[in-house]
A = this chain, B = another copy of it.
Amino acid sequence: MKKRVAVLAGDGIGKEVTNAATAVLDAIGRRFQHEFEWVHGLLGGDALDQAGHPIPEETIKKCEESDAILLGAIGGPKWDHYPKELRPEKGLLQLRKHFELSVNLRPVQAYKTLLSSSPLKEEVAEGVDLVFVRELTGGLYFGEPSYHTDEEAVDTLVYKREEIERVVRFAFELAKIRKKKVSSVDKANVLESSRLWRKIVEEIAADYPDVEYEHMLVDSTSMKLITSPASFDVIVTENMFGDILSDEASVICGSLGMLPSASLRADGFGLYEPVHGSAPDIAGQNKANPLGAILSGAMMLRTAFGMNQEANAIEEAVKKVLEAGFSTGEFKSQAGKVLTTTEMTEKVINE
């Protein structure tokens, strides 16, 4: 197959990790006879510096002409004082909205060899294998009115039925091919939007008699993610709760640098990016963990291109490298060998 992919490296370590991902994907291409065309575009602070806008028209055009988007990371203190319409984050939010990337997938998996770096006790983190399905283009992130004066501020949490249905149905479909359990997270004892959410979950659950489901409050969930993370399978929730809880859960596996994500449109078109940020403090030092970006590449192969075997090959390679005791510098307990970004990428490619 021949696929065109828009690569938006973004800021900080974004370039290093997307380079790592495309290198691994090129290796996959050689082995499985695919051809990937990488179309590089500007995004975030980098785009602001070079083109005056966090998401230039040209970047959107490049993405529209591609089969998928691979993203590095955006943001950094350098651009924190720009007006909000020009901040790097705005570029990302506009990208999500423009391409209607309404379903955000964030798997969290505990790798045995990395458990010693988890802040959780090993017996608590062991066996964690969950995935967040976060609504990504609604709620407080995009609701109007949204303004502040010197005296008052307003943000609006708004959801339409279709927006909730789409993401909830996605979660149940996913649970069907996983451990058959959905935890739907809301704050139905306080929020009206959560009451509609809960109602729609009930309706959709009726179509999936084989999938077990539960309603959980967001505050209890923030506890249970730490006390018994291994009890979860698929967690579905609205945009802001998903932002907070998925980041919370991301610490379980010992490093944020490990985690991939996908943001999908209804027709399957999607954006793939590591969960970690732009880490300006280590940018350009060849220290960043490329595995989050590499595993995002694997998610892209599977989800966007249906290349299951190829995706498995990458995931297996990553697992082998970790099992052999290799890791990058950010892990707390370094039993094994510490690699640079490029060394880690080489190891994965060789596997």
* Residues of A bordering B, CB below 8 Å: 75, 84, 87, 89, 93, 118-121, 124, 140-141, 143, 146-161, 187, 189-193, 195-197, 199, 218-220, 222-223, 225-227, 240-241, 243-245, 247-248, 250-251, 256
Contacts and interface: CB of A to CB of B under 8 A. Distances in A.
Contact of A251 (B140, B152, B227, B240): B227
Interface centre among A121, A243, A251 (most CB of B within 10 A): A121
> Quick one: copies of this chain in the complex?
2
A98 B124 CA distance: 42
Contacts of A152: 158-161, 196
Given A119-B120, A121-B119, A195-B84, A190 B93 contact: yes
* In the A-B complex, the 10 residue pairs with the closest CB atoms: A222-B248, A153-B196, A153-B193, A219-B247, A148-B196, A155-B157, A148-B192, A89-B189, A119-B124, A151-B161
A219 B154 CA distance: 20
22 contacts: A84-B195, A87-B189, A89-B189, A118-B121, A119-B121, A119-B124, A141-B190, A146-B192, A151-B160, A151-B161, A152-B159, A152-B196, A153-B159, A153-B193, A154-B193, A187-B240, A218-B243, A222-B248, A223-B247, A223-B248, A223-B251, A227-B251
A273 to B, nearest CB: 15
B119 A226 contact: yes
A89 B190 contact: yes
A245 B157 CA distance: 19
A140 B157 contact: yes
B192 A220 contact: no
Contacts of A256: 223
A245 B245 CA distance: 10
Nearest to A150: B161
B87 A148 contact: no
B154 A156 contact: yes
A151 B187 CA distance: 18
B227 A119 contact: yes
Given A152-B158, A156-B156, 19 more contacts: A75-B189, A93-B190, A119-B124, A120-B226, A147-B192, A148-B196, A152-B159, A153-B197, A154-B158, A155-B191, A155-B192, A187-B243, A220-B247, A222-B247, A223-B247, A223-B250, A223-B256, A227-B251, A248-B248
Contacts of A160: 151-152
Interface centre among A143, A151, A190, A193 (most CB of B within 10 A): A190
A151 B160 CA distance: 6
Given A223-B247, A223-B251, A223-B256, A148 B218 contact: no
Nearest to A190: B141
A220 to B, nearest CB: 7
